[in-house]
Amino acid sequence: MTVHPISPVFDKESRVLILGSFPSVKSREVMFYYGHPQNRFWRVLGTVLGCDFPDGAEERRELLLKNKVALWDVIASCEITGSSDSSVRNVVPNDISEIIGNGNIRAIFVNGKCAEKYYRKYIKPTTEIECVTLPSTSPANAAFSYEKLCEHWSEISEKLK
């Protein structure tokens, strides 16, 4: 069983929550979200928020909080081979109630189909909050160009207005 090692990023000003599935091997190594250099998450988020591309965990944390975005993952622990979402088994979900209870969350977005699957199965029944599924920013999602990702992910900036 691999346990999620990274704390959620949020504060009382958070308006939007983005949930991934589970940190990649690279993210677990660097101890921050979307740590693989080929993952397009930070580039896409920076673009849709109208910010510079953040470099490093502290700059990324500041970008999130400054823009009222909370970030965590759906899965607290699981069996996983490498970073492959398709290999995820024996899921234990994260409890997002602290984020919901201490922020002013207007919308929950999930990054990709794996996060959506486990959100709907484990978290939605307790929160009763619907999520918006965005296309995965993973380099494995070759079907979506950077421009197409930005087009879909721009929905986040609409919810922050």
Q: Which residues are catalytic?
A: 39
Residue 34: which of 60, 3, 65, 53 has the closest Cα?
A: 60
> Which residues are bridge partners to 70 per DSSP?
17
Helical H segments across 6-141, by residue range: 25-30, 41-49, 57-66, 97-102, 113-118, 124-127
Q: Do the Cβ atoms of 152 and 135 come closer than 8 Å?
A: yes
Q: Are strands 69-73 and 75-79 parallel, antiparallel or unpaired?
A: unpaired
CA atoms of 51 and 92, how far apart (whole Å): 34
Tokens of 65: 């909080």
